[in-house]
Amino acid sequence: MHLQEDFVRGIYPYGFERPSAKQQRAIKPMIKGHDVIGQVQSGTSKTATFLIAMLQSIDTQLRDKKFYAQNLLYKSKRYYWNF
């Protein structure tokens, strides 16, 4: 997937070794700035997929003193209760 080497070394200690096929299909276009729509089951690391693409796209060479967001992730979590 051509992820930055430092980034890959940083996520390996957290148990991330290789993205699933669905993650790969989502991460590649997201890194390129494209919109992605997908549907997968609960517990399939959807948040990790977004974060990998977001962190990969951050320009770490920016040295401008002005702060601006390079990425923004809003994650809504719904809880369903069975009574």
Q: What is the pLDDT of residue 43?
A: 78
Digit-coded pLDDT (tens) for 40-76: 887 777 888 888 888 888 887 777 667 777 887 776 7
Digit-coded pLDDT (tens) for 22-36: 888 888 898 888 888
Banded model confidence at residue 83, pLDDT cuts 50, 70, 90: low
The DSSP 8-state label assigned to residue 66 in this structure reads S
State CA 79 to chain mean position distance. 22
d(CA 26, CA 46): 10
